[in-house]
């Protein structure tokens, strides 16, 4: 029980430590089953009550069947925080590694876990750590946050330096909280981690967009058609007295019919023009948050890009 230098081994040290901390239940990995009789004898020799002992299966890495550990497959717990995982999502996921509530329920709050947990529902087979499932569960928890909570938690990630994954350094800090909340309200459904917020929302904050002009051409669209569609869109959006999604949608859908296009053709060109991306939050709501002046300026930039293309440019 003592090393040659007089220091206690784990077998003695953890028992003394647990006793003076008042530990009543000890849950360890199954590899400690063979040591349990020795530990019981030590408790008896010291005249101390033996806590309830339980042994549970290991957690394996996703591939290779090796035990998850600091040397294989695992990362320090605080890195999950830095990667944008919510503590409540990580707790929920960890509880489901080798344990289940009813075999169907995946999302359980801390209080629900405390009320429901029992060792008799811990499986006998090793659990397998699945990063994709944790990522999915984290997205579920992000979508359950109120907008105020999401804004509070996402702001530190957005205000990080660009080299650390934040918004471009050209974006002034501190960010306007009210504007950030409006932006995040459009991206909340797509977010899986808080650390994604800067990348997903960057076009709301940067004055200029960098994209391939060919993306302005939707499927089976010519340069002339796209240019005319963007120009007419610009003219329509320059005049409505109200700047909101509802006021934009009806006239733009009417313009689609007038130009003989499919909605995806015109709206793809507009989406790329105002966001620099082919995938974005709902288009009309996005333009509402961006504001009239920025939206019109970006449509003008798109017209410049289209005017510079070769005359016969067309997508297939």
Name the residues annotated as catalytic. 70
- In order of 113, 145, 208, 290, the CA distances from 275 in angstroms are 42, 26, 10, 9
Give which of 5, 1, 85, 66 is closest to 39, Cα–Cα. Answer: 1
At 96, which helix (H) or strand (E)? none
CA–CA dist 87, 92 (Å, integer): 9
Which residue, chain included where needed, has tokens 């409006």?
Answer: 182
- In order of 164, 174, 195, 214, 292, the CA distances from 157 in angstroms are 9, 12, 6, 32, 28
User: How many other C-beta atoms can be found within 10 angstroms of the C-beta atom of residue 239?
Assistant: 7
CA atoms within 13 A on the CB side of 155: 15
For strands 25-29 and 52-56, give the pairing: parallel
- The sign of the torsion formed by the CA atoms of 79, 54, 67, 117 equals negative
User: How many other C-beta atoms can be found within 10 angstroms of the C-beta atom of residue 61?
Assistant: 17
Token pair recorded at residue 167 = 């918004």
CB 267 within 8 A of CB 245: no
CB 292 within 8 A of CB 237: yes
CA–chain centroid gap for 143, Å, is 10
Which residue, chain included where needed, has tokens 């998850």?
Answer: 68
């Amino acid at each position: 029980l003592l090393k040659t230098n007089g220091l206690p081994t784990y077998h003695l040290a953890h028992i003394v430590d647990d006793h003076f901390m008042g530990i009543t239940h000890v849950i360890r990995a199954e590899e400690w089953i063979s040591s349990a009789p020795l530990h019981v004898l030590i408790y008896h020799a010291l005249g101390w009550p033996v806590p309830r002992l339980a042994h549970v299966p290991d957690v394996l890495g996703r591939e290779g069947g090796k035990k998850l550990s600091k040397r294989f497959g695992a990362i320090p717990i605080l890195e999950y925080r830095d990667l944008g995982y919510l503590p409540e999502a990580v707790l929920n996921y960890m509880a489901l590694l080798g344990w289940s509530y009813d075999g169907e329920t995946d999302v359980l709050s801390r209080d629900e876990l405390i009320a429901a947990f029992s060792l008799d529902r811990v499986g006998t087979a090793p659990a397998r750590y699945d990063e994709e499932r944790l990522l999915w569960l984290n997205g579920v928890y992000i979508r359950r946050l109120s907008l105020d909570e999401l804004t509070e938690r996402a702001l530190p990630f957005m205000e990080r330096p660009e080299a650390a994954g934040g918004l471009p350094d050209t974006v002034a800090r501190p960010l306007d909280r009210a504007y950030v909340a409006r932006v995040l309200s459009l991206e909340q459904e797509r977010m899986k981690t808080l650390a994604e917020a800067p990348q997903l929302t960057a076009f709301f904050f940067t004055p200029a967009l960098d994209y391939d002009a060919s993306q302005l051409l939707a499927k089976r669209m010519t340069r002339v058609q796209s240019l005319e569609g963007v120009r007419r869109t610009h003219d329509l959006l320059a005049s409505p007295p109200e700047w909101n999604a509802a006021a934009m949608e009806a006239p733009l859908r009417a313009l689609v019919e007038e130009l003989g296009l499919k909605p995806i053709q015109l709206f793809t060109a507009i989406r790329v023009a105002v966001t620099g991306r082919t995938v974005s939050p709902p288009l009309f709501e996005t333009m509402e948050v961006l504001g009239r002046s920025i939206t019109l300026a970006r449509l003008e930039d798109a017209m410049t890009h289209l005017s510079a293309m070769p005359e016969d440019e067309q997508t297939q």
